[in-house]
Chains A and B, each alone.
Chain A
Amino acid sequence: MSDPLQITPDPWQSLNQFTAARIALGRAGMSLPTQACLDFQLAHALARDAVNIPLDFTELAGRLAANGIDSLTLQSQAENQRLYLQRPDLGRLLSPSSQKCLKNHALSPADAVVVVADGLSSTAIAHHAGPFLNLLLPELQNNNYQIPPVCLVKHGRVAVGDAIAEAFTARLCIVLIGERPGLSSPDSMGIYFTYQAKSGLSTDADRNCISNIHHNGLSYAQALKKLLFLIAEAEKLELSGVNLKDETTETELENLPPLRNFLLAHR
């Protein structure tokens, strides 16, 4: 796939050190060489599969149970994937049977609920939810929080957590969800935190988001640090959302290289 007679390479591949963008791909005629073309198809295939291959909830619940984590499996009103993608409103509501199931479990009030929704990337949840919960739940227990079983929601959007928090009369709502996959990050997980979540009333402005959790993005430890900071601040201020600022620092930003570039270097 690299016959030099047919491919014109780009002699600026060293610029790849500055960006993950697909630069210096070379060309066959005016078009993408075969390798670059198939690289793209591979990345797209992983992203599409992350969206479309259903999360194995039984396997996930089993894995959590093996680590001593109780869970409940619930479902949104989006009955299938096609409906889920086209009707975000239905993904925010629990199905009638799930509502009933919650009622049976929500016998005593809780401080915090932890919700795991497949969202737009089943691979994100399959890869990251278990390990992250192993770190998160002991921290919440250290706070002496009453926590009901982790609620796993099929075809869920972020706001589906609001109804769950209400059912348990919990102050804190923590939703782990698969983010819309990019070509370079098919398994990115996000965390949405809402204080005093109200079903149908809480909006994006009431939530704090910790995004981009995957192996080449934010680490579990960094995400946990941010989340615990937000929880502590929210308990003090009695709010979450735009008025609650994440003041934890990001080591990547502190290590930014000098603000100059080679196109404007003096020669």
Chain B
Amino acid sequence: MYKTQLAGVAYDFRSLRNLMAKASPARSGDYLAGVAAANNLERVAAQWVLADVPLKQFLTEALVPYESDEVTRLIIDSHDRQAFAPVSHLTVGDFRNWLLSDQTNTETLAAIAAGLTPEMVAAVSKIMRVQDLILVAKKCHVVTRFRGTIGLADRLSTRLQPNHPTDHPAGIAASILDGLLYGCGDAVIGINPATDNLEATTRLLHLLNDVIERYQIPTQACVLAHVTTTMKAMEQGAPVDLVFQSIAGTQKANDSFGVNLAMLQEAQAMALNLNRGTVGDNCMYFETGQGSALSANAHEGLDQQTCEARAYAVARQFKPLLVNTVVGFIGPEYLYDGKQIIRAGLEDHFCGKLLGLPMGCDVCYTNHAEADQDDMDILLTQFAVAGGTFIMGVPGADDVMLNYQSTSFHDALYVRQVLGLRPAPEFEQWLQQHQIFNADNQLMRQGIPALFGGTGILPANGSK
């Protein structure tokens, strides 16, 4: 098994795990892990062999042992054989053709989602080009709800990310107002706290809750603290809309994050119990990113893209409102340049959507990656064409707390304009009601809307 002869060279890939790694399009993290193909011929040989692997094989050959990894157990134990039936006879190569075929539509894809495992979708993504990843993902519709409805057709939502290096309330408020007046924040208003402790988290939770209540904004708040911090905040009665956690695709990597499935389950139950959603109860927000397992030295010999897809099995279990692949944050030792970041972002979106997740993408890069704003424009545009669920909105694309570049409020307006994409309906109505957007969802104001008290809200200079 897993053998071939190509261009006069014989290959034996021995295991499915090794085959997957060798078939993965080139990226620095897989070289760093020592699992990548040695050259182009080996990679394409692996892709040929992988194309002939039956999808069923993924149900019997675990890439990380069932006995030692709770993510594997979750994947196998929650697999829905009935949903899998329509594609159970296919090989990976046939599955690609099936996904691309005219007969496969939104309904078919939704029906098989529970029958697909992360490894199956990771495998097929490895033999797909960028346009294939876009075309198939575009067919998937995943709708989630809390105070707004996320993921409807021809909509693109944004997370308003008003970070500040010292969590200064007025500094955060300044970025929130800037974002709202640019039409951002329908996915979530989400702060990465500079200090992950209970007191700081609680203070920020109240700030966000008070702003959302006072201005009656149909959105949800999140402070992206560790899940255990958020659980403590909930115990003390803090207003928690969405529970956040970074997750990964192996038990060992999740251990290094200080989380496990039982803990996430408990957190979800606590948040559900608060019953703060008005149109739905999707109350979890997860972030992921290729390379995170390797950076914790917990990749278990997997390539980073397969590891990433396995994290989506963890996410899926908890019916999240939002899942965000923070694709370019991790650095060039995992994704070296714009080309690698762009493909990874589209792979993650494709895999997440096929598994039934509301996939957003932090279209982003660090200053030591070989990437720039042009690369981000390409990924942003392709992600939106693929039907991406949400992106980040950071003032001027420059996150002054996390020191990386993401997408800006202006970027969101650009992509909504060229592709005719609208915000979530509840938020859209709020924007239009307060004359931030006109009926065509274009910015209309010349000043600060009456809702905010006009320019009267602005403090005098030096009044902090």
**Which of B101-109, B130-138, B277-285, B406-414 lies at the interface with chain A?**
B406-414
- Tell which of A19, A31, A85, A262 touches B336, judged by Cβ atoms closer than 8 Å: A85
Cβ of A43 within 8 Å of any chain B Cβ, yes or no, is yes
Residues in B whose Cβ lies below 8 Å from that of A181: 367-368, 403
Are A19 and B174 neighbours in the complex by a CB distance under 8 Å? yes
- Tell which of B31, B398, B413 touches A21, judged by Cβ atoms closer than 8 Å: B398
Cβ of B459 within 8 Å of any chain A Cβ, yes or no, is yes
Are A262 and B171 neighbours in the complex by a CB distance under 8 Å? no
> A237-260 interface mask toward B, CB cutoff 8 Å, 1 = contact, 0 = none?
000000000000000110011011
Are B177 and A87 neighbours in the complex by a CB distance under 8 Å? no
Cβ of A65 within 8 Å of any chain B Cβ, yes or no, is no
Question: What residue in chain A is nearest B161 (Cβ atoms)?
Answer: A21
Residues in A whose Cβ lies below 8 Å from that of B275: none
| Given A23-B395, A85-B336, A264 and B173 contact (CB-CB distance below 8 Å) | yes
CA distance A261 to B214 in the complex (A): 13
> A177-188 interface mask toward B, CB cutoff 8 Å, 1 = contact, 0 = none?
000111111100
Are B367 and A40 neighbours in the complex by a CB distance under 8 Å? no
Are A40 and B32 neighbours in the complex by a CB distance under 8 Å? no
Are B170 and A257 neighbours in the complex by a CB distance under 8 Å? yes
- For chain B, the count of residues having a C-beta within 8 Å of the partner chain is 64
Are B164 and A19 neighbours in the complex by a CB distance under 8 Å? yes
Are B403 and A180 neighbours in the complex by a CB distance under 8 Å? yes
**Which of B72-80, B146-154, B239-247, B449-457 lies at the interface with chain A?**
B449-457
Cβ of B273 within 8 Å of any chain A Cβ, yes or no, is no
Are B453 and A18 neighbours in the complex by a CB distance under 8 Å? no
Are A44 and B458 neighbours in the complex by a CB distance under 8 Å? no
Cβ of B271 within 8 Å of any chain A Cβ, yes or no, is no
Residues in A whose Cβ lies below 8 Å from that of B210: 264
The distance from the CB of A204 to the nearest CB of chain B, in whole angstroms, is 11
- Tell which of B178, B366, B395, B398 touches A180, judged by Cβ atoms closer than 8 Å: B366
- Tell which of B211, B373, B417 touches A264, judged by Cβ atoms closer than 8 Å: B211
| Given A40-B373, A40-B397, A27 and B458 contact (CB-CB distance below 8 Å) | no
Are A32 and B408 neighbours in the complex by a CB distance under 8 Å? yes
The distance from the CB of B34 to the nearest CB of chain A, in whole angstroms, is 10
**Which of B90-98, B342-350, B439-447 lies at the interface with chain A?**
B439-447
Question: What residue in chain A is nearest B415 (Cβ atoms)?
Answer: A30
Are B459 and A19 neighbours in the complex by a CB distance under 8 Å? no
CA distance A42 to B276 in the complex (A): 44
Question: What residue in chain B is nearest A50 (Cβ atoms)?
Answer: B367
Cβ of A48 within 8 Å of any chain B Cβ, yes or no, is yes
Are B368 and A25 neighbours in the complex by a CB distance under 8 Å? no
CA distance A21 to B203 in the complex (A): 21
- Tell which of A24, A184, A252, A260 touches B398, judged by Cβ atoms closer than 8 Å: A184
Cβ of A89 within 8 Å of any chain B Cβ, yes or no, is yes
| Given A18-B170, A86-B31, A89-B32, A12 and B367 contact (CB-CB distance below 8 Å) | no
Question: What residue in chain B is nearest A184 (Cβ atoms)?
Answer: B400
Are A25 and B367 neighbours in the complex by a CB distance under 8 Å? no
Cβ of B9 within 8 Å of any chain A Cβ, yes or no, is no
The distance from the CB of B156 to the nearest CB of chain A, in whole angstroms, is 14
CA distance A25 to B396 in the complex (A): 8
CA distance A25 to B405 in the complex (A): 16
Are A264 and B207 neighbours in the complex by a CB distance under 8 Å? yes
CA distance A22 to B381 in the complex (A): 22
Residues in B whose Cβ lies below 8 Å from that of A21: 162-164, 171, 174-175, 178, 394-396, 398, 400
- Tell which of B211, B368, B400, B417 touches A19, judged by Cβ atoms closer than 8 Å: B400
Cβ of A47 within 8 Å of any chain B Cβ, yes or no, is yes
Are A23 and B164 neighbours in the complex by a CB distance under 8 Å? no
Cβ of A232 within 8 Å of any chain B Cβ, yes or no, is no
Cβ of B438 within 8 Å of any chain A Cβ, yes or no, is no
Cβ of B88 within 8 Å of any chain A Cβ, yes or no, is no
> A28-63 interface mask toward B, CB cutoff 8 Å, 1 = contact, 0 = none?
001110001000110110011011000000000000
Residues in A whose Cβ lies below 8 Å from that of B163: 21
Cβ of A14 within 8 Å of any chain B Cβ, yes or no, is yes
| Given A30-B417, A264-B210, A44 and B169 contact (CB-CB distance below 8 Å) | no
The distance from the CB of B450 to the nearest CB of chain A, in whole angstroms, is 12
Are A182 and B368 neighbours in the complex by a CB distance under 8 Å? no
Cβ of B1 within 8 Å of any chain A Cβ, yes or no, is no
CA distance A97 to B452 in the complex (A): 66
Are A86 and B28 neighbours in the complex by a CB distance under 8 Å? yes
Cβ of A267 within 8 Å of any chain B Cβ, yes or no, is yes
Question: What residue in chain A is nearest B213 (Cβ atoms)?
Answer: A264
CA distance A32 to B453 in the complex (A): 26
Question: What residue in chain B is nearest A86 (Cβ atoms)?
Answer: B28
Cβ of B5 within 8 Å of any chain A Cβ, yes or no, is no
CB within 8 Å of A: which of B55-104? none
- Tell which of A32, A41, A48, A120 touches B410, judged by Cβ atoms closer than 8 Å: A32
Q: Which of B210, B446, B452, B464 has the most CB of A within 10 A?
A: B464
Are B333 and A87 neighbours in the complex by a CB distance under 8 Å? yes
Question: What residue in chain B is nearest A179 (Cβ atoms)?
Answer: B403
Are B458 and A23 neighbours in the complex by a CB distance under 8 Å? no
Residues in B whose Cβ lies below 8 Å from that of A41: 373
Are A30 and B443 neighbours in the complex by a CB distance under 8 Å? yes
Cβ of B270 within 8 Å of any chain A Cβ, yes or no, is no
> A1-32 interface mask toward B, CB cutoff 8 Å, 1 = contact, 0 = none?
00000001011101111111111110100111
Residues in A whose Cβ lies below 8 Å from that of B166: 252-253, 256
- Tell which of A48, A185, A260, A267 touches B170, judged by Cβ atoms closer than 8 Å: A260
Residues in B whose Cβ lies below 8 Å from that of A107: none
Cβ of B172 within 8 Å of any chain A Cβ, yes or no, is yes
Give 19 pairs: A residue, B residue, CB < 8 Å, sorted on A: A11-B458, A12-B181, A18-B170, A20-B165, A21-B171, A27-B413, A30-B417, A32-B396, A40-B397, A47-B367, A50-B367, A85-B336, A86-B28, A88-B32, A180-B366, A183-B403, A257-B464, A261-B207, A262-B170
Which 6 A-B pairs give the minimum distances between C-beta atoms? A22-B396, A182-B403, A19-B171, A261-B173, A15-B174, A30-B413
* Additional A-B contacts beyond A44-B372, A264-B214 (10; CB < 8 A): A16-B174, A20-B165, A86-B31, A86-B32, A180-B367, A252-B166, A260-B169, A261-B169, A263-B211, A263-B457
